Amino acid sequence: MPFKLPKKLLEWLKQRTPEAKIDQLVSTIGQVNELIQGREDALSALVRKHIFMAEEDCNAALVNSKFDNKQNNNECLRRIEFGLFRLELAKQQLNSEQKESCLPNFDKGTIEYRALELSGAIIKTKMAIEFNNCVVSESSKLQLVGIVKMFNQAIELLKSNQQDKSRRLIEAGLMLLYIAKREIEIENHESIVDLSEIWKNSTRESQPIRQATEASYNLKTACSNCPSQATPKVLSRLDDATEKLHRAIDAYSKANDDRVDELISTSLLQTKLAAEAFQSSPAQDNISPGNGQTNEQLGERLSDEIDNRISQFKTQILVLQRLVTNRATQDHLANRRLDAADKYHQAAANMYRKALAAKDNNQSDSELNRQQLRETIEKAETLARSATIDLEFARNLLLKKSGLPYRELIKRIAEDSDES
Amino acid sequence: MATKQQPSKNQVKERLATVELALAQLTDKFNSTTYRQNELISSCIENARNELQSALDSLFNGKTRESFDRAGTAWLYADFGRQILEAEAVEHILGESDYLELSEISLPWEDTAADLLYQLEQKILLLRADIKKLATDESKQ
């Protein structure tokens, strides 16, 4: 008597054949199709897409089942598995519709969790700005756009398995967002949103940056509330402190921790000096000597004002350079011109300061001193003109397709100066 | 650094299902929004869709960890897009439809650069005017 397998085992083996599995796939397609009958919404469209893909898998499996070799057999089974998996997904999606929330759970310590905190904080800030109808300066807007860019870059880094770089970029984005929010609050003279929770899960290394940020922005807010006490010296030191802060955050994002310490120390020191100057500065609105100031005090104040001008010019040059880098086709050439413009502007301003000082000291009017003063003024003008030339050349490189060559530009600006 | 735990196939399936559903709902809402078509949301949807596709591909190639992570990344994009869409819906309904643009696509860098160049130019002109005034005062004496 020939050997006979038990009936149940035979049925089970039958179900494991490709044909049986294809039948299973076809019947599941039918079941899922029934579940969305008469529905026209986002979910049913998604499920329909899954059904369509499962049908494709089913057809491919059928074609492969016609050949009796291992490779086709494997492909047949693989496609059936895909198809069934897609339908499982579809069923799960239909089920999850009933649940109130079904979020992917990221653990608190993960980069993904922190990335969600960043995106949440960005939106919170955006909503607060829109709700309060805040005026947002171009530089703050650029800052916010830059933070969104950092968020995207951090995800790219995450995808390429560069975990540490990604985490640092997210932390840097959060710190910059906090700074941007403080700037906007100062610009609008009101508190708009509480972002203090962003520090809760921050790294230990970012704590000194937080401390320096709070110190400089608390003082900035005080200056904004009491502008008469915010002398150019105070503002110039504060500008320097915040500039160092930005550079420290940049260094942090690049894992250059030694540089962070150095920059944060300088930033804190500048803020401390600014705070001292702020405390000792009398609340005055006018700078003319008639208001009780001596000529010496006026001179000092004008000198501070020149420092402030130099600092503001430099900051704007940096903003512009950051903006055009990797965007303009001749960005490196333009950046060189912008560096030169900054250098000439600074030299011209310092020469102007020297001329002002010489004028104050030369009340005795000896012809020799007057000659020196005239020469100093002339040098200041030449340097300022050079700054104009380099700035114009940078403009040509960045924005004009057919700007004047450098030599022509110098000639034209010299002619303009003579006419004015 | 601690190595990540290998997710089960069921966990991957759950995450894929959730993210895909969220993305489909976002896409649907975004397409039916008439008051504004934010380019940033559009790019979030696009990125999430690409990531989901990679997640599925990874899964079909037997790489469950990669699939799980890719689905997570897709969620980050989709969730960001959803939040922007909801924030703008609030501004549309309750506010003055004065939206804060967060995408650089709508901010041509040339315009901002021209603006900054103009401000810098004004600063130099101011300095030159001061110098000129000093020169004039001096010549008068």
What ipTM score was computed for the predicted complex, to two decimals?
0.78
Count CB pairs under 8 A between chains A and B: 200
- The closest CB to that of B114, out of A380, A387, A399, belongs to A399
Assess if residue B2 is contained within a domain. no
- Across the range A369-389, mean pLDDT stands at 91
> What is the mean predicted confidence (pLDDT) over A248-268?
93
Inter-chain residue contact A104 with B76, CB threshold 8 Å: no
| A196 vs A232: which has the higher pLDDT | A196
Q: Does A122 touch chain B (CB under 8 A)?
A: yes
In a domain, B121, yes or no: yes
Whether residues A45 and B40 touch (CB distance < 8 A) is answered with no
> Is A420 a residue whose pLDDT tops 90?
no
State which residues form the domain around B119: 108-141
**Does residue B129 belong to any structural domain of this protein?**
yes
Q: Is B3 inside any structural domain?
A: no
- Flag if A104 and B75 touch (Cβ within 8 Å): yes
Q: Is residue B4 part of a domain?
A: no
Taking a contact as any Cβ pair under 8 Å apart, which residues of chain B between 5 and 34 contact chain A? 13-21, 24-25, 27-29
Residue A114 has pLDDT above 70, yes or no: yes
Position B74 scores a pLDDT of 96
Band the pLDDT of A286: cuts 50, 70, 90: very low
The answer, for B50 touching chain A at a CB cutoff of 8 Å, is: no
CB contact under 8 A, B76 and A112: yes
Mark whether B50 and B79 lie in a shared domain. Answer: yes
pTM of structure = 0.69
- Per-chain mean pLDDT for chain A: 85
Please give the backbone phi and psi of residue A200, each rounded to the nearest 5 degrees, phi first.
-55, -50
What is the tens place of the pLDDT at every residue in B18-45? 999 999 999 999 998 888 888 899 999 9
Same structural domain, B97 and B121: no
Query: Chain B 71-100, CB below 8 Å of chain A: which residues?
Result: 71-73, 75-77, 79-80, 83-84, 87, 90-91, 94-96, 98-100
- Tell me what pLDDT residue A401 has: 59
Q: Which residues of B touch A319 (CB under 8 A)?
A: 116
* Same domain? B112 vs B98: no
pLDDT of residue A288: 45
Number of Cβ atoms within 10 Å of the Cβ of A81 = 15
What pLDDT score does A290 carry?
44
Q: Are residues B63 and B23 in the same domain?
A: yes
Chain B's closest residue to A380, CA to CA, is: B131
Nearest CA in chain B to A115: B76
Name the domain count of chain B. Answer: 2
Judgement on whether residues B25 and B94 belong to the same structural domain of the protein: yes
List chain B residues with CB under 8 Å of A118. none
Mutate which of A87, A123, A390 to test chain B, going by most B C-beta atoms within 10 A?
Answer: A123
- A335, A325 in Cβ contact below 8 A? yes
Average pLDDT for residues A7-25, to the nearest whole number? 75
| C-alpha to C-alpha distance for A127 and A125, rounded to whole angstroms | 5
| Dist. CA A247–CA A266, nearest whole Å | 11
In whole angstroms, what is the distance from residue A254 CA to residue A166 CA?
10
Give the mean pLDDT of chain B.
88
Chain A residues lying within 8 Å of B98, measured CB to CB: 130, 133
Kindly report the nearest CA distance between residue B72 and chain A, in angstroms: 7
Mean pLDDT of A159-175: 94
How close A42 comes to chain B (CA, Å)?
Answer: 6
Residue B76 and residue B119 in one domain: no
Contact B16 A316 (CB under 8 A): no
pLDDT of A170 strictly over 90: yes
Residue/partner pairs of B106-113 with CB below 8 Å, 24 or more apart: B106/B39, B107/A141, B107/A142, B107/A145, B109/A323, B109/A324, B109/A327, B109/A328, B110/A398, B110/A399, B112/A138, B112/A142, B112/A323, B113/A320, B113/A323, B113/A324, B113/A328, B113/A398, B113/A399
Per-residue pLDDT averaged across A344-354, rounded? 94
pLDDT band at A102 (very low <50, low <70, confident <90, very high): low
